[in-house]
């Protein structure tokens, strides 16, 4: 089996569903390499499901189609920003996806998470609660958190800082 390229900001895109097995011919390199990127593509052309992970990793797809795979990233230096938006598979959220940042760099996206998955990551839960506390009363927050689902909505998006290892999350729903 061909080994997928390394994505430091999205370490296992097959597990998260961003990269899938596919016989599609890549719109960039013209090869059918057995895998395609299934996540969002911000470009003029409709490229969803038509790019191979290798053309994302080496930046050729981003350059050729002026494409981005993530639109919103919290504040990071521009060289890192370009790696996250142009050389990293994005992920599909219910709303505009947002790449979380910690220690001055983009965090690694680990996938969607529900209440069960988040139970193992108390720091991520704390971050979610603090986020929600700005607008919601505590009882409503706990109801919402217990309703979080990995494959449904509302859902949380779990990240881990590449530098200090802290788990981070945000959540959304339609």
Residues near Zn ion (CB under 5 A): 26, 28-29, 52, 55, 102-103, 161, 163-164, 166
With respect to Zn ion, which residue has the nearer C-beta, 118 or 161? 161
- What long-range pairs does 82-87 form, CB within 8 A, spacing at least 24? 83/8, 83/9, 84/9, 86/59, 86/62, 87/7, 87/56, 87/57, 87/58, 87/59, 87/62
Residues contacting 126, CB < 8 A, separation 6+ = none
Given the complex with Zn ion, which of 120 and 163 has the nearer CB atom?
163
Q: How far is the CB of 169 from Zn ion (least distance, A)?
A: 14
Contact 19, 4 (CB under 8 A): yes
Residue 25: φ, ψ to 5° = -85, 130
Shortest approach of Zn ion to residue 92 CB, angstroms? 20
In the complex with Zn ion, which residue's Cβ is closer, 29 or 115? Answer: 29
Min separation Cβ 61 and Zn ion, Å: 7
Pick the closer one to Zn ion by CB: 50 or 111: 50
CB of 173 to Zn ion, least distance (A): 27
């Amino acid at each position: 089996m061909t080994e997928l390229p390394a994505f430091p900001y999205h370490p296992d895109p097959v597990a998260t569903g961003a990269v899938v097995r596919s016989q599609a011919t890549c719109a960039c390199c013209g090869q059918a390499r057995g895998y395609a990127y299934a996540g969002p593509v911000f470009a003029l052309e409709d490229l969803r499901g038509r790019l191979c992970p290798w053309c994302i990793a080496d930046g050729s797809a981003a350059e050729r189609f002026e494409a981005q795979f993530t639109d919103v990233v919290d504040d990071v230096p521009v060289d890192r920003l370009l790696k996250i938006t142009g050389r990293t598979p994005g992920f599909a959220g219910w709303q505009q996806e947002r790449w979380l940042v910690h220690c001055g760099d983009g965090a690694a996206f680990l996938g969607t998470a529900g209440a069960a998955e988040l139970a193992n990551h108390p720091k991520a839960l704390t971050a979610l609660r603090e986020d929600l506390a700005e607008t919601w009363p505590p009882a409503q927050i706990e109801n919402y958190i217990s309703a979080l689902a990995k494959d449904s909505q509302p859902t949380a998006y779990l990240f881990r800082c590449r530098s200090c290892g802290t788990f981070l999350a945000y959540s959304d729903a339609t």
